[in-house]
Amino acid sequence: MSIEMLSESVGQFGYPALFFTLWLGIVGMPIPDEVIVLSAGVLTSIGVLSIIPAFIATYLGVVSGLSLGYVLGRTLGAPALNWISKKKGMNRHVERAQSLLERYGSYALCISYFLPVVRHVVPYLVGIGKMTFRRYALFSYTTGLVWTLILFLVGYVIGDQATSIDAFLNMFTRGIAPAIAVLIVVVIGCVFGYRKYKEKKLRVQAKVDQDPDC
* Dist. CA 105–CA 97, nearest whole Å: 11
* Dist. CA 192–CA 167, nearest whole Å: 36
Phi, psi of 115 (to 5 degrees): -125, 105
Position 45 in a domain: yes
pLDDT of residue 71: 92
Q: Range of 92's domain?
A: 3-177
pTM: 0.71
Task: Write the CA distances from 185 to 110, 143, 190, integer angstroms.
Answer: 7, 9, 9
pLDDT of residue 140: 92
Position 204 in a domain: no
* 3-class DSSP state of 161: coil
Total domains in the chain come to 1
Percent of the chain at pLDDT > 90 equals 18
Round the average pLDDT of the chain to a whole number and report it.
77
Q: What is the pLDDT of residues 60-101, one digit of tens each?
A: 999 998 898 899 889 988 887 777 777 767 788 888 899 989
Handedness of CA 74, 75, 78, 81 (dihedral sign): negative
* Dist. CA 189–CA 139, nearest whole Å: 11
Position 185 in a domain: no
Position 169 in a domain: yes
Position 159 in a domain: yes
Q: What is the pLDDT of residues 136-176, one digit of tens each?
A: 999 999 999 989 998 898 888 877 565 555 555 555 555 55
Position 131 in a domain: yes
Position 83 in a domain: yes
